[in-house]
Amino acid sequence: MNSREAIFASIRRSLAVHGDEAPRRFEVETRLKEAPPGVVPKRGQGDLPARLATFKAEAERAQASLAEIADWAGAPAEIARFLRENNCPATVRMGADPSLAAMPWSETTLEILHGPSDGRDVNAVSAAFAAIAETGTLALVSGADNPTTLNFLPDNHIVVLPRDAILGDYESVFAKLRGAYGKGGAPRTLNFITGPSRSADIEQTLLLGAHGPRRLHIVIVG
């Protein structure tokens, strides 16, 4: 018996089952198929204006900074302003996300680099897949559009978030995910990000910028 078989045999011995019981299999299949939501907190619920307000409050609690702009065309200017005011270099790296690519970057003096980060970038821009009002959390998915290294290696992470992508809760993001990747499917990496990187490992003192970004700036569009 190999280890896999030994472990399954031990589990089944302890549970006093043989593994072929139809009702058990049915119960498991049903749960995997139906994915019941459980208890979903009220905090993130409500119409879009309510979700926006909750999202902003919660993200700020998590020490993210926020800006709201009317349309996509205004994003480069806002990003340039943020970098200037924080004395950051005027270079940003981003992936191939079409909504980012379509922005009027030439209206700013920002230098734009494309592709994943090798650790030498100070600033990165990503587009969010969704956001969660309940906890002020961004959801980002891996891929050529928004490489995952951009979420972690640069010092400043700027995330562009369409207003109507602010959902109430994790469950709503999963629904959107299933729409994009199919039931049971997933991107290689789904990052839920709530504020900038931090550590409290030294004397329980909270310090920002542990291994990931020191700043997280969210630009809400729309």
Partner 1 sequence: MNEVATSAHFKENAHEALTDARLQGALGFSRNFVGRRAAAVARLPEFDALRDSARAIKDHTLAHLDLYLEAYERKVRESGGEVHYAQDAEEARQIVIDLCRSMGAMSVTKGKSMISEEIGLNHALEAAGIEAVETDLGEYIIQLRGETPSHIIAPAIHLTAKDVEQEFRKAHRDLPPDRSLAEPEQLLSEARQVLRAKFLAADVGITGANFLIAETGTSIIVTNEGNGDLTQILPQAHIVIASIEKVVPTLEDAAQLLRVLARSATGQDASVYTTLSTGPRRPHDPDGPRAYHVVLLDNGRSAMLGGEFEDMLRCIRCGACMNHCPVYQAVGGHAYGWVYPGPMGAVLTPSLIGVAEGGQLPNASTFCGRCEEVCPVRIPLPNMMRHWREREFERRLSPAPLRYGLGFWAFFASRPALYRLGADLAARAMRLAGRGKGRFSWLPFAGGWTRYRDLAAPEGATFQSQWRARSGAVR
Rule CB under 8 A: which of 99-138 touch partner 1? 115-116, 118-119, 134-137
Which neighbouring-strand residues pair with 140? 191
Whose Cβ is closer to partner 1: residue 104's or residue 115's?
115
Edge to edge, the sheet with strand 65-69 lists 65-69, 215-221, 156-162, 123-127, 91-94, 111-114
Give 219: exposed, middle or buried? Use CB within 10 Å, 0-12, 13-18, 19+.
Answer: buried
**Angle of CA points 88, 92, 95, to nearest 5°:** 155
User: Contacting partner 1 (CB under 8 A), which of 3, 22, 49, 85?
Assistant: 3
Min separation Cβ 145 and partner 1, Å: 10
**Angle of CA points 163, 56, 112, to nearest 5°:** 60
Closest by Cα among 63, 61, 113 to 92: 113
User: Contacting partner 1 (CB under 8 A), which of 70, 87, 179, 204?
Assistant: 204
Whose Cβ is closer to partner 1: residue 149's or residue 222's?
149
Binding mask 54-93 for partner 1 (x = CB under 8 A): ----x--xx-------------------------------
User: Contacting partner 1 (CB under 8 A), which of 76, 95, 154, 168?
Assistant: 95
Determine contact, residues 61/194, Cβ cutoff 8 Å. no
Instruction: Pick the piece of the chain touching partner 1 (CB under 8 A) from 67-75, 81-89, 123-131, 206-214.
Output: 206-214
User: Contacting partner 1 (CB under 8 A), which of 47, 71, 85, 201?
Assistant: 201
User: Contacting partner 1 (CB under 8 A), which of 112, 133, 202, 219?
Assistant: 202
